[in-house]
Amino acid sequence: MKKIAQSTVAALVLILGCSSLLAAAVGRTATAAEDHERGDVPGWVMITLMSAVLVAGLLALAAPALNDLFNQAIHQVAK
């Protein structure tokens, strides 16, 4: 249980760190006052990247549980 808690905390720190870095990087490139024709591309890039990081983090946390679930299902079918 302690190992799961540590990995959960590490994943959350990683996710929050990545999202803040992405937000900072997109914030630097977003110059709406200079170029009105660009639209909201940096915002969509940030949302897409943050979503990808969130999915990767959740998958990293859920991988052992999904693996166990799959193995149990295969074991029941093999009976």
* Mean local confidence (pLDDT), 58-74: 93
Q: Structure tokens of 40?
A: 């909201």
In the chain, % of residues over pLDDT 70: 51
From the list 42, 45, 64, the residue with the least C-alpha distance to 53 is 45
* Mean local confidence (pLDDT), 55-64: 92
Q: Structure tokens of 6?
A: 């540590």
Q: How many domains does the chain have?
A: 1
| Residue 66, domain extent | 2-78
**Predicted local confidence at residue 43, as pLDDT:** 82
Quickly state the pLDDT bin for 41 (edges 50, 70, 90).
confident
Q: Do 57 and 11 contact (CB within 8 A), yes or no?
A: yes
